[in-house]
Amino acid sequence: MSATMISGKEISAKLRLSVKAQADALRAKGVVPGLAVILAGDDPASAIYVRNKEKACEECGFYSEKYVLPAETSQDELLSLIAKLNADPRIHGILCQLPLPAHISEQAVILAIDPAKDVDAFHPVNVGRIMTGDYDFVPCTPAGVMAMLDECGIDPKGKHCVVVGRSNIVGKPMSMLLLHRHGTVTICHSRTKDLADVCRSADILVAAVGKAGFITADMVKEGAVVIDVGINRTAEGKVVGDVCTAEVAEKASYLTPVPGGVGVMTITMLMQNTLKAAEKQSAGV
Ligand code: GUN
């Protein structure tokens, strides 16, 4: 089998047009969706992601503010900035790019963001709502994966969905979203026994490990759908995923490329969440 590559770029282009049209309709009522992005420290990959988020705001007709803070910024200074943005009516969504400098508590920052403006869906209120299925904001990367599956007509219902990775940002919420759609979900991690066997039993395999080339063809069932969430930089500076793309493409039915796959969808889902935040806040709900 030779896999169909699912283009995050193409799906995103279509979805962003729809976000822009909805933002235009909101602007006609006097509301411009506003996103504040905070970058603390000098992680080069984070700087690229933040730039791409700014560009996406321009493309969708959003108002955006970017705060680039030096690595020495204190936690109190960062929390003060968040408090100011929580109170700013032009700002509907706040995103603080992770990872943070080591002296700043990620949890303190996540807790400081008003849950109504938490377009990452990292606040425990929003995490809890994802558990129950009663959510406004879906974490952007898992939401992007679901949008790709939907676009390709791939229904998780009744399928064995194996998620490799148990992070708060991807693995855990990804599992919940698949479960809400009636998938039978297994979460694997570094201590899973017989990981390759579990992966081989997947109808839908989501790789969110953060290790280049972790998923090899022998771990994939013939005809499986393989979603590569990894963004890894090789020693030569090349961006690659968690999946050995060339060999897995020979076995999978669908596969997402890196770059041009899940990564671009993540940013598109951030735009959807920001639009939703603006709609809800302007309606006073
Ligand atoms: N760092 C890596 N992914 C993300 C994300 O989705 N949101 C934030 N805030 N930081 C990240």
Q: Is 120 in the pocket of ligand 1 (CB under 6 A)?
A: yes
Q: Is 118 in the pocket of ligand 1 (CB under 6 A)?
A: no
What residue segments make up the domains of the chain, in order of their start?
Answer: 30-114, 140-263
C-alpha closest to that of 258 among 7, 3, 47? 7
Cβ pair 123, 173 in contact under 8 A: no
Give the tens place of pLDDT for each residue, 73-113.
999 999 999 999 999 999 999 999 999 999 999 999 999 99
State the average pLDDT over residues 14-37: 98
Specify the residue with its C-alpha closest to ligand 1, atom 11. 98
Backbone angles phi, psi at 103, to 5 degrees: -80, 0
Q: Is 169 in the pocket of ligand 1 (CB under 6 A)?
A: yes
Give the tens place of pLDDT for each residue, 148-180.
999 999 999 999 999 999 999 999 999 999 999
Pocket mutation for ligand 1, best pick of 106, 120, 122, 273 (most atoms within 8 Å of C-beta): 120
Tell me, in angstroms, the distance from the centre of ligand 1 to residue 266's CA.
9
Q: Is 47 in the pocket of ligand 1 (CB under 6 A)?
A: no
Q: What is the CATH number of domain 140-263?
A: 3.40.50.720
Specify the residue with its C-alpha closest to ligand 1, atom 3. 98
For residues 275 and 285, give the distance between their C-alpha atoms in angstroms, rounded to a whole number: 14
State the average pLDDT over residues 242-250: 98
Amino acid at 222: E
Report, as residue numbers or ranges, the catalytic residues.
53, 97, 120
Cβ pair 215, 252 in contact under 8 A: no
Q: Is 274 in the pocket of ligand 1 (CB under 6 A)?
A: no
| pTM exceeds 0.95 for this model | yes
CATH fold match for the domains 30-114 and 140-263: yes
State how beta strands 239-240 and 225-228 pair: unpaired
Mention the CATH class of domain 30-114: alpha beta
Is residue 253's pLDDT more than 90?
Answer: yes
Ligand 1 atom with the smallest distance to the CA of 139 is 6
State the average pLDDT over residues 199-213: 98
